[in-house]
Structure 1
Amino acid sequence: MDKKKIAVPLVCHGHSRPVVDLFYSPITPDGFFLISASKDSSPMLRNGETGDWIGTFEGHKGAVWSCCLDTNALRAASASADFSAKVWDALTGDVLHSFEHKHIVRACSFSEDTHLLLTGGMEKILRIFDLNRPDAPPREVDRSPGSVRTVAWLHSDQTILSTCTDMGGVRLWDVRSGEIVQTLETKSPVTSAEVSQDGRYITTADGSTVKFWDANHFGLVKSYNMPCTIESASLEPKYGNKFVAGGEDMWVRFFDFHTGNEIEILITTNTIKIIK
């Protein structure tokens, strides 16, 4: 009888408090990379395949709620409870720019062309910083109807995606007009929203549901009920045939994208585990 192959995770130690955000870079000539945000205030950069520690970005004075890498993984960005968003040199760990806000910053995202940084948080304002002119005042994209939880870029930087901490729905903003052009309706606040690397789907987690939306026509493609309240969900980037979800029960679960059937389950800790 063939024994079922069990995936053995790589365990990446280092953070001293809970990890609240993870971001994989696109594949670069040097491979791909993983950056993690934690309540310990120090984002960490790792090799995305092996999990090996590369460096720690030191300078925030509060929990870091969000982190990301640009297209070439040469710069990192972080959003913090210390009322700032920072851009870092991913090779040296030096702070390149520090953008002050008036309240907690919960989310940040580089544009696809890497020239812009989008932030959002407790101020209910979406801000776009021009990284070619970092001393210039940011562009403010109207006022969000609630505190911003997540942000992302869509359609070659022509559309902004945002969610709120205290109300349902995913809002799509036209960058040119600064207006909301579409809302993807959900019953509960969306705690996680991402655009798949192939640009086909928007993956959201709200309440105990994971949904997949058409990123071009915005129709609901799939909706799956989960066994608990889900905090985050992500579609596997290479083949797109499975997704991962994690939430209140402290387990990370893998599901088949096409059927919604559970494939595998892993217990979580305050460390990072990479499944190969």
Structure 2
Amino acid sequence: MSSLAAYQYVLIALIFVWSGFVRSGLGFGGAVLSLPFLLLVHDQPLVFLPIIAVHLLVFSSLTIWLNNRRTSAERRAGERRESTVDWRYLWYLLAVMMVPKLVGVFGLITLPSRVLSAIIFVIVAIYALSYLFNRPFRSNSRVVDIIFLMVGGYISGTSLIGAPLIIAVAAQQVAKEKLRDTLFALWFILVFIKLAAFIWADVDLQLLHHLWLLPCAAVGHVIGLKVHRRMLQAETPVFFRVLGAVLLTVSAAGLVQAFL
């Protein structure tokens, strides 16, 4: 990213603020709702995916730790606080998704960047339509659950944007108040695997750019935490419809750009 114009750096900074906001506000979407915009600024997925991965590791672990720490008064009283992570269901998710995840990571490393960008934009367009028409992915059987999880694991391996399929299953099995942190724990493990693959494949982790992009994501993260508290009491279908329309527009523009 060292050769970009000044306006591109500004756009990237704003997109990472948005990324931090949706990640902490929704429990997912840090990649799926920001990567299309990033690729319009600079069409190189392997430049941004390591940065997104590190951000997810940092902020997901920090959020889970803060939500599960005990106060000094609780420790003195010997009180036990119930975990905000549904660990039992988390291990089930990992058991189903691990092999497809690893296959997807291999595909990420070997696919040309233009092909990968096109795949990402197509997937995001499908998600955008589900948001736009208020028809989120849902499963009604154990077999469909497993299919969704395996496909979501593979997509997560290729581009970090398999969350909507995974959430279609997890949201029906995990209590609302535990869903976000359970997803954070899942993303942490899956992204750690991806980051290890990046290191093994000698992918540039863009470490220098973390110095200015981590604070950008932190600003969005703090705002998102406040929004998340409000969203636990209310649903926001209008927000997702607007978001779907924007994502669909961005994906269409990205597909045109990828094939020009």
TM-score (norm 2): 0.25
Higher strand share: 1
